[in-house]
Structures are given as structure tokens and as C-alpha cells.
A and B are shown apart, each in its own frame.
Chain A
Amino acid sequence: MLIGLFDGLFNGISIGAVLLIAALGLAIVFGLMGVINLAHGELMMLGAYTTFVVQNVFRQFGEPFFEIYIFFALIAAFFVTAGVGLILERGVIRYLYGRPLETLLATWGVSLILQQFVRSVNWVLVIGLAVFCILFFGGLWVLNRRQSAFHKWAIAALLPLSLGIAIAAGRFLADTYQLAVTRPWFGAQNVDVSAPRWLRGGLPLGNFQLPYARLFIIALTIVCVAGLYYFLQRSPWGLRIRAVTQNRSMSSCLGIPTQKVDALTFALGSGLAGVAGCAISYLGSVGPNTGQNYIVDTFMVVVVGGVGKLVGTIVAALAIGTVNYLVGSGTLALLFTPIQPLADFFTFFATTSMAKVMVFALIIAFLQVRPGGIFPQKGRTVDA
């Protein structure tokens, strides 16, 4: 029974570790800009897909390279999602600062687009998008350089024109090359990422074993937290980020480029989502809906942890992950077998989905005691 509990605790902590990497990004973005990024889960999904792609590339190289692909995958996932995050911030979110609810909806729109994008991405779509971007943004750049009287009209004409050319080009490609370009890269099906050999199996410890994959995830989380902590506390940009989090207008007065800080932080948060995505690709198969499974738990971590405190996020993630696993796997039900009614009660909740019901109830109850989270922000702000 004790072994069961230990096993449960270990698994719970490893789930909490994944939640933690995901929530770190969300938490610093929320703490800094007050923006809840509903597309965060989809960024995780992109990270997982990046891992899948990197794995396929390294598989061609053969055995010794395949063993180390995971490190390249982590770096690639970080930079791909950070790039997407940067585009997202520059393209959408920066217009919506100070309107958190609207940002929520806009990022949900982005998440829908990303989901469908992953399902139906193929060469035609990519080339069409590239053509459109080159024509439209290139045209915009040219137009903005030389101001003319019919500037507005030129832009209005540019949009349908470049859209038309892009669609026509896509049609043409699809007709000439047929399946070679229209076949989706990933499709709606889930894909599987296989771990390198040294990550399979587990560390034998008495009667049971600790899976290496989960150990790796825990180690990864520790590295991420340490890196983030070092970045925020020691580097000049970290100082700026902390300053803007505390008082935006004052920092701006003192010459901190708040817009750059916002963009950087958002990219950093998105990059962490990518790393989390890389981690979850080792826990199960990856599909277009992968992000959705984690996103609400991640939000819960932010709500319970409180804003602007890394420690709160860490404690909340580990607690939620552990409780979720202990209840969901039925470990608690086993523990309480001597007390029949309690055991029945926990057996009722002993599935993954029912565990969420209980965790939610616990969170609501917790918020009755501490509405501001575990470590609420102190200060005189009436409306944070």
C-alpha cells in the first residue's frame, strides 16, 4: 500500500512537472500583461509536433544521432513556438492591452485557427500563405515608404489582389502536382513520438520502477525553473520584466522599453509552452486536440498559484498534479479501504475525468479561504 502511494506520488509529481512548465509561461505572461492566452495549449501542441518533425528528420540519420535528437527537439520546439508567440504578440495581442476579456476571445480564435492549421496543413496551404504574406506585407511596406494621395485605396486594393493571387497559385499547384502537394502533413490523426532508447524502461527501485521518461520530464522542469529564475533575477532583461510587472507606467517613465519587454516575455512564455509540448509528447500520442487537454489544468494552476509569484505557480502545479493523479488513479480509494464509505466515495471519483470534478470542487473550496491564490500579491492595488 505504501508502495502504491509512493508510486502515485511520483506519477503525480511528474504530471505536476508538465503542468508546471506549461503554467510557467502562462503565469509570467499573465503576471506581466494581464493577458490570458487561450492559445497556450495550441502552442504546446505545436511544440509536440515540432518534436515529431525533428524526430523524423533524425531518424533518417541513423542510430547514434537518433539517440540525441531530443535535445535538438527541445531547442527547436522552444524557438518555433517562441517565434509563433512573437508573431501573435506583434500581430494581435499588442492591440488589445488593457482589454483582458477581448484578448481571451482573440486568443481563442487563434487557437481554433492553429488547430485547424495542424489538421489541414499541406504544401499548397504553406505556399499560398507565403505568397500572400510576401505580396501583402511587401506591398504594404512599399506603400508605406512612399506616401501617396490614394494610400488607403491602394491598401484596400492590395488585400483582395494578393489574396486572389495566393488562392490562384494554390489552385494551380494543387491541379498540377495533385496529391504530392495536397496531402496533409499530419492530418487529423494522432501521431506518436518514440523516445530514444535511453529514455525507455525505468529505474528499478524495489518492487516497482521509475520510468526514465518521467524522470527526464522532472529533470527538464527543474532545469526550466532554474533557468527562468536565473533569467528573471540575474539578467538585465529579467530585471526589466520584473519592473514592468510591478509598475508598468513607472517603468516606462524610467526608460524601459515596455513594448519590447512585452514582446520578449510573450515569446519566452510561448517558448516554454513549446518545451512543455516536447515533454508531453513522451507521455502519450499527439493530436490537434492535445493542447485542449492540458489548458484548463494549466489555468487552474495560475488561478490557485496567484499572480506574479513563481513559487505559487510551482506549489500549485505540483499540488494539482499530485491530487489529480492520486484521485484519478484510485490510489486514494485503495488507501481508504479500511473505511468503507470513504473508499466508496473515492472509487466514484477514480477515473481521470471524474478526478477533474473533484479537483475543481477542491479549488473552489480553496478559493473560499484564499481568494487571491496561495501567494497573493501584496500591495495597495484595489483592482489588480
Chain B
Amino acid sequence: MDAVSRLGARGKRQTLWIEVGIVLAIALFLILVMPAVLSNFRLNLLGRFLSLAIVALGIDLIWGYTGLLSLGHGIFFALGGYAIAMHIKLEDADGGLPDFMSLYGGTELPWFWEPFYSFPFATFAVVTIPALLAGVLGYLVFRNRIKGVYFSILTQAATIVFFNFFNGQQKLFNGTNGLTNFQTLLGTSVNTQSTQFVFYSLTIVLLAGAYALCRWLTSGRFGRLLMAIRDDESRVRFSGYNPTEFKVLVFAVSGALAGIAGAMYTLQSGSVSPRLMDVAFSIEMVIWVAIGGRGTLVGAILGALLVNYARSFLSEQFAEIWLFFQGALFLIVVTVLPDGIVGWLKSQGIQNLGRRKQSFTYPSLEEDPEVQQERKEIGVRSEE
């Protein structure tokens, strides 16, 4: 290792520590200062939005880095929520049937509810069920090299299918109303302020963890492969990699993140219903990432928080305008601000100071001065 690269490595480690410090500082700020500043209602809202930021991270991983636009993350989100809600309902029922089941004339517990008696299994299911589903669906789709718009449509259709399924199964999942009215979790009441604060803190810890995971996944060789798949999948295939496996893996990780987010959201909002699997909600998640800036992890978090605050503000003030506003937001972001807020800031030269240069991707090769110089030397005229 020569001196320069050793210096680079040290610099990298240094910036990494700085980043860890920043994340810790923000987390501590959120946990220690915010409860003192905000009312309980606002704190709960913030907690929910932070859990939405986790699913935004997952979408960024699959869309921003791998280039697969999933319109079905609502499924994974809701499945995570259902997993934890089922455990709570069973605990509330105290050995009997959950309240809604007896209401609809159910006499015995469906077999797949059984394992949710145990809390460890429920938490395990929050992560694994969405991940497994994403993995299987991803495998079936990616294996046939279905991608691009086709993938998006299939995930959207899957969302509708799951929405219909959960909506229609009155006896199994309480249909349209979903699971509500939570009482206790692990013996403590979930509705007290202190428990909610625990959930809030846990959300922040999980968000920081999710950020670290995504950062780790995207910064190394794996991340570069993802970007390579996004930019030119055929080349990746020709280079001897099998993109399918990577895509399935990323989709599963992203699904797991969505599941965790859904569980935390459910705990803090106190209900889970098929509405979370609505197509509109799944597409909205994508727009958080687009607004924040896809391909940047900070952007995903920022976008989720910003849009949701705008939404809660605007729909408090004028309920009808929100849909107009949301539609306009889609249009504006896509046409004017394709790289989102963070991407725009970066292009404005507010670079993350002292950080290593961004790894340029294929399209931006055209703008690379070195490439242009080379082309000029060879005498190849680039287009336009």
C-alpha cells in the first residue's frame, strides 16, 4: 500500500467517525431534546414519520441504488404492522379469541395465528415475513429478467391483490377495519405516555441502525454492484456476475426494512388496516424518496419527513388541496428536480466537504471532462 492510498484510507476512516458522530448527535437530540419541546401529540407524529423514514431508506436501496421502482412496499410495510398487531391482539385476548373473531362467529384460532402468541416469534416475523415474501416475489420476477416498468406494474398489481385479500378476509384479519384497540404488550399498557416514548426511542435507534446498514451496503463493493446493475445490467451480466441474486437480496433487505417500519408505525399509530397496502400509499412512499433525492440515503430520510410534515400541515388546513398539491409535487419533482433536494444541493456545489468523490455513474460519463478530453484526442465527436 503506497502512501497516498494509506492517507486516503485514514481520511476515509476519519470521515466515517465524523458521520457516526453526527448520526449519534442527531439521535440523542431527537431522544433527549424533542420530548421537552414538542407536545405528546406532535412527538407521536414525529415518531410515526421517523418510522416512515425507515421504509423510505428501504425504497432508496431498491430504487435509488438498484434502479428497480417498487410500487409494492406498502405490502411489506403492512405485513410488518400486522405481525406485531397480531401478537398484541392475542396478548389482549388472554388465551381466548381476539375480540373481532368472536364477533364474526369464529370459534377457533386460525392455524397461522398460533405462533404469534410468542413475542420473539412476532418480532422475528416482522422482519422475516416481508423479507421472505419480497425474496420469493423478487426471485420469480427477476429470474425472467422482468424489469423496468414491468416490474413496477407487477409490484403494483401485487399491492392490489394483497389489499383485496386483507380487505376481504373478515374472519382472519377483521377486513377493512384492520386490527385496532391495542391494550398491552409484554404486560405493559401500550397507550401510556412512557411506553409510547419507548417506542419513539426505539424507532430512532432502528432508524439509525437502518441507516448504518444501508450505508454499509451501499458504500462498499456491493453498493457499486447495485449501481452497476442500475446503470447497465447487461454489462454486469457480461462481466460474470448474476444480477438476479443481488436484486433478490436487495429486494428482500428492502422488504425487511419496510416490515420493521410498519411495525413501529403500527405501534405508534395504534392500528393497522389494509389502507396501508393501498396503491396510493405505496406510490407516495416512492415520491418521498424522489423528493429527498434518490441514491442518497440522507435524502430518503429527509424526503419522508418533509413530505409527511407538509401533508399533515396542508391536510389540517385545507383537506381538498392536499391531493392537488401532492399531484403537483409529483410533476414538479420529476420534471424540474429529478435528483431531489439533496441531489440538487450537491449539484449546487454544496458538496459534503472532504468526503471522497462521488462514484460517477454511467450517464454522467458524458459530462466527465477527462472523458471529453480523451474523446477529443481520439477525434470522436460526442453527440451534440
Contacts and interface: CB of A to CB of B under 8 A. Distances in A.
Contacts of B150: 303
A36 interface: yes
Nearest to A103: B334
Interface string A333-375: 0000000000000000001011011001001100110010000
A108 B283 contact: yes
Contact of A109 (B146, B233, B234, B330): B330
A383 B338 CA distance: 23
Contact of B164 (A101, A111, A302, A357): A357
Contact of A106 (B164, B233, B335): B335
Interface in B314-355: 320, 323-324, 326-331, 333-335, 338
A194 B146 CA distance: 43
Contact of B328 (A109, A111, A351): A109
Contacts of A99: 338
B323 A109 contact: no
Contacts of B290: 105
A105 B144 contact: no
A96 B331 CA distance: 11
A112 B323 contact: yes
Contacts of B279: 292, 296
A50 B99 CA distance: 47
Contacts of B140: 364, 367-368
Interface string A53-69: 00000000000000000
Nearest to A95: B335
Interface in A1-55: 30, 34, 36
B331 A109 contact: yes
Contacts of B320: 116, 119-120
Nearest to B290: A105
Contacts of A302: 153
A131 interface: no
Contacts of B20: none
A175 interface: no
A113 B149 contact: no
A92 B331 contact: yes
Interface in A147-205: none
A302 B148 CA distance: 14
A104 B283 CA distance: 10
Contacts of B149: 30, 34, 36, 100-101, 104
Contact of A105 (B156, B167, B233, B330): B330
Given A96-B334, A113-B323, A383-B234, A104 B154 contact: no
Contacts of A111: 327
A303 B154 contact: yes
Interface in B139-172: 140-141, 143-146, 148-150, 152-154, 156-158, 160-161, 164-165, 167-168
A360 B157 contact: yes
Q: Which of A92, A95, A360 has the most CB of B within 10 A?
A: A360
Interface in B356-373: none
A106 B331 CA distance: 5
A112 B330 contact: yes
A356 B165 CA distance: 9
A109 B334 contact: yes
Given A113-B328, A382-B234, A353 B164 contact: yes
A110 interface: yes
Contacts of A368: 140, 143-144
A105 B323 contact: no
Interface majority SS (helix, strand, loop, mixed), chain A: helix
A201 B333 CA distance: 50
B127 interface: no
Contacts of B157: 296, 299-300, 360, 363
Contacts of A292: 279
A115 interface: yes
Contacts of B148: 100-101
Interface in B214-269: 233-234
Interface size class of A (residues with CB under 8 A): 35 or more
A85 to B, nearest CB: 16
A299 B156 contact: yes
A83 B279 CA distance: 27
Contacts of A103: 334
Given A299-B156, A364-B154, A368-B144, A116 B331 contact: no
Given A96-B335, A382-B234, A36 B153 contact: yes
A101 B153 contact: no
A106 B326 contact: no
A356 B161 contact: yes
B158 to A, nearest CB: 7
A99 B294 CA distance: 15
A110 B141 CA distance: 28
B327 A360 contact: no
B362 to A, nearest CB: 13
Given A105-B290, A106-B335, A119-B320, A357 B161 contact: yes
Given A113-B324, A113-B327, A105 B154 contact: no
B55 interface: no
A367 B144 contact: yes
Contacts of A105: 283, 286-287, 290, 330, 333-334
Contacts of B280: 112
A115 B234 CA distance: 39
Interface in B154-212: 154, 156-158, 160-161, 164-165, 167-168
Nearest to B143: A368
B234 A110 contact: no
A57 B247 CA distance: 55
Nearest to A363: B157
B69 interface: yes
B326 A109 contact: yes
A295 B149 CA distance: 15
B335 A104 contact: no
A214 B143 CA distance: 40
Contacts of A119: 320
Nearest to A93: B335
A112 B326 contact: yes
Q: Which of A106, A108, A116 has the most CB of B within 10 A?
A: A108
Interface in A207-258: none
B134 to A, nearest CB: 14
9 interchain residue pairs of minimum CB distance:
A109-B330, A371-B144, A353-B164, A113-B327, A112-B327, A116-B323, A109-B327, A106-B334, A360-B161
14 contacts: A101-B148, A104-B152, A110-B331, A112-B323, A303-B153, A353-B164, A354-B165, A354-B168, A356-B164, A363-B157, A364-B141, A367-B141, A368-B143, A371-B146
Given A106-B331, A110-B331, 20 more contacts: A30-B149, A36-B152, A36-B153, A92-B331, A95-B335, A96-B335, A105-B333, A109-B334, A110-B330, A113-B328, A296-B279, A299-B153, A351-B168, A353-B165, A354-B165, A360-B161, A363-B157, A368-B144, A382-B234, A383-B233
